[in-house]
Structure 1
Amino acid sequence: MTALGARRGLSGLAWGLAGLAACFLANALSGSALISLLIAGLLGAGVGTAITRRIQNPLDQPWHLGAGAAGGFALGGVLIATLALNFPLDVRVDAQGSRGVYPSVSLPPALYTAVRGSAIQNGLRGTWGSNAAVKTLLMPDQARR
């Protein structure tokens, strides 16, 4: 995603940030996957058309490549984080109350080991206790609880 953003230049920055906004809005406005997909698709098509019309020369300056790379990196990072954090979780009830355990032990053993030992997933462990906006973007089902 970073390379694609850099290749698009200034359009890549707008594309990456608009993609983040579309994902956030789709997750915040809907509880249904189909409606979220429809919202994100319509927002993406509208923003894509607007970017194409408004940014005529996206690669005029050398810094446009860096700006595009930043937009692509932001969108790609959110996509990777979403994939790393959206495996099933178990709810355990003990003396301290109920708590979520991630990932679920009901996953196939090879997948459980891979997710449990993932450096990306371990780096994002603090996301479970973060603010509602980050949860809405990365884990919309957990933000609604």
Structure 2
Amino acid sequence: MATDNPLQATPLYHGTRDASARIILRDGFRRSRSRSYTGTGICLSESLTVAYEYGMYETGGCILEARLAPHARWADGFGDTTPSRDGWDANFEASGLDAVRAYGGNVWVVWTPGVLVSVRRMSHREAIRRLCAEFDEDGPQCGYNGVVQDYASIW
């Protein structure tokens, strides 16, 4: 378990609808009421391309940028196993972790919303500029789903 946060300087990205972003910026992040493949935790990514797929893919979407608080308790995965959908929540409850870095950083699952600090909305222009920087660094392979792969191919 990591208690020091070497990734504190690393931004995490969350793509969402504009209306949801306004609520998050006003009230803060909250865990979901329904389970996804990662349980009810808050999903973010070290990769802007992943968040872009979820935020900008929908009309009126946007990207939020956040950072983990220095005191966040996180781990790089849950060991050798990837929990089932219900298992994510059980693992968080048993471990006392605030967050887990999964799938090589493509997905961060945050269990304790309060460890996400300095949350801000990125402008579309800033998101596109950073997306282009990821294309320059990683090439077209950085695309997660179709839309970003198409952009990267054009780039």
TM-score normalised by the chain length of structure 2: 0.27
TM-score normalised by the chain length of structure 1: 0.28
Structure with the larger strand share: 2
